[in-house]
Amino acid sequence: MNRKNSALYHIFSDQVRIQGVSTRITMRVWMAAKYTLLLFLLVLAIRSVRSEAPQQRVYNVLDFHAAGDGNKDDTQAFLATWVAACSDTSQPIMIIPGGRTFLLSQVRFSGNCMSPIKIQLDGNIVAPNSIWTSEEANLITFYQVNSLTLDGNGQIDGKGDDCISMLSYTTDVNITDSICGPGHGIRTKDEIA
């Protein structure tokens, strides 16, 4: 049998036969073509992995049955939203939507969350009208939470003395565009009244 009519592809040292047509290709060119193809496939694989990365999930307090009418206590809805967002690994956003007022009793948002978390506060939060009797009464407490961002155009009216209290072991806090009412404003250490 004639080599010219044998199988479709034959490789003989530095010579390639394609359908009987003899073409001289140096091994360098052949190897370069293989590596170029491998590099191209690697780039495609990396791009497909990036595009399949989890998207940042959004957790809206309304989806967890917050009323947002300023009368019904929304504390449990906020806690349920926090628990869902805190257990998410996609750097979630907890949404407190604008155009609504949410009544909260004392609430403690605890870590350790699975990833950094952002709270987008566009609505308003108010405390109950009852008098706070305990010195340790705080409307909102973040406990053992790392990498928290609180942003938005909403307002928090805790009806108390301190606007923001940063107690022991609080680090790397950046506060911008915050307006505090009468009282201590921003407290930066454990104070004894």
pLDDT per residue rounded down to tens, the chain (193 residues):
455 544 444 444 445 555 544 455 556 666 677 778 788 788 877 776 655 556 889 999 999 999 999 999 999 999 999 999 999 999 999 999 999 999 998 899 998 899 999 999 999 999 998 766 666 678 888 888 888 898 999 998 887 766 777 777 777 777 777 777 666 666 666 554 4
Residue 3's pLDDT is what? 52
C-alpha closest to that of 6 among 17, 24, 16: 17
Residue 159's pLDDT is what? 78
Residue 81's pLDDT is what? 98
C-alpha closest to that of 14 among 6, 4, 23: 23
Cα dihedral 100, 101, 103, 108 sign: positive
If DSSP codes are grouped into helix, strand and coil, which group holds residue 122? coil
**pTM for the full predicted model:** 0.67
Residue 67's pLDDT is what? 98
Q: Which residues contact 163 (CB under 8 A, 6 or more apart)?
A: 178, 180, 181, 183, 184, 185, 186
Residue 82's pLDDT is what? 96
Domain boundaries, the chain: 3-51, 58-160
Q: Which two tokens stand for residue 17?
A: 């036969």
- Beta carbons of 192 and 181 less than 8 angstroms apart: no
